């Protein structure tokens, strides 16, 4: 399973790359605003220079031609930019336009399996179901991921599923068990993946025993 990092923070992206867990990056307007980014294009360029993997940059236009125009402009920033489009009818129309121009699309804000089916039919390279937001709304977000993967298998779609809106390591575990292609993980969750209290306790004991032996 590929690990993307869900952030626009350059320091977090560099640190994830340093650990060897950076197959790509996903951003959105909220994440860019959190970094108080003034020149969003330059910021996206800087992120793209930190990884050869796909970097999702989201449009803010709402109509199909506006989204397609913004998408073309963003795609020209770096060869690894992927255009994030909201799963709306205009977003799907823009997806077809960008796909015809050879530009990869990540269909975002996906909350139902039928939305994901439309994304695949429109030629999206990636689809992003938001599992955490569904959980918070009283639905099992990971069940949606399983449904999408089942539908894509049924019809041989090669759209890759990016499990997004991840809140904790269990989301990563269930995504891996379901066979999702990618998890886009916030840095705080990425940091938790390697930690286990018994690992810490075991390490403490090993070091204490070794010290006793040396003394």
Residues that bind ligand G3P (CB under 6 A): 6, 26, 28, 130, 132-133, 164-165, 184
Least Cβ distance, residue 210 to ligand G3P (angstroms) = 42
Pick between residue 106 and residue 122 the one whose CB is nearest to ligand G3P.
106
Q: Which is nearer to ligand G3P, 29 or 198 (CB)?
A: 29
Q: How far is the CB of 124 from ligand G3P (least distance, A)?
A: 15
Choice between 4 and 152, CB closer to ligand G3P: 4
**Alpha-carbon dihedral sign for residues 169, 164, 78, 46:** negative
Catalytic one of 84, 192, 211, 212: 84
Q: Provide the minimum distance between the beta carbon of 132 and ligand G3P in the complex, in angstroms, as a whole number.
A: 5
How far is it, in rounded angstroms, from Cα 45 to Cα 47? 5
CB of 28 to ligand G3P, least distance (A): 5
Q: Terminal CA-to-CA distance of the chain, rounded, Å?
A: 45
**In the annotation, is 211 catalytic?**
no
Nearer to ligand G3P, 133 or 181 (CB): 133
Nearer to ligand G3P, 130 or 157 (CB): 130
Cα(81)–Cα(48) distance, rounded to whole angstroms?
A: 7
Q: Are 3 and 22 in contact (CB under 8 A)?
A: yes
Nearest distance in Å: CB 213, ligand G3P? 47
User: Annotated catalytic sites, by residue?
Assistant: 84
């Amino acid at each position: 399973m590929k690990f993307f990092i869900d952030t626009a923070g350059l320091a977090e992206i560099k640190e994830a790359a340093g650990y060897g867990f950076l197959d790509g990056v996903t951003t959105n307007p909220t994440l860019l605003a959190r970094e108080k980014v003034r020149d969003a294009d330059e910021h996206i360029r800087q992120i793209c220079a930190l990884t050869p993997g796909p970097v999702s940059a989201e449009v803010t236009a709402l109509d199909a031609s506006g989204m397609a125009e913004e998408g073309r402009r963003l795609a020209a920033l770096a060869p690894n930019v992927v255009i994030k489009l909201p799963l709306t009818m205009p977003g799907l129309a823009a997806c077809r336009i960008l796909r015809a121009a050879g530009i990869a699309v990540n269909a975002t804000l996906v909350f139902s399996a039928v939305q994901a089916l439309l994304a695949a039919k429109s030629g999206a390279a990636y689809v992003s179901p938001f599992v955490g937001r569904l959980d918070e709304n009283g639905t099992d977000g990971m069940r949606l991921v399983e449904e999408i993967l089942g539908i894509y298998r049924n019809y041989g779609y090669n759209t890759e599923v990016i499990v997004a809106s991840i809140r904790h390591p269990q989301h990563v575990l269930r995504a891996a068990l379901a066979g999702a292609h990618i998890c886009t993980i916030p840095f705080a969750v990425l940091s938790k993946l390697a930690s286990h209290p018994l690992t810490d306790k075991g390490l403490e004991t090993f070091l204490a025993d070794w010290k006793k032996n040396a003394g």
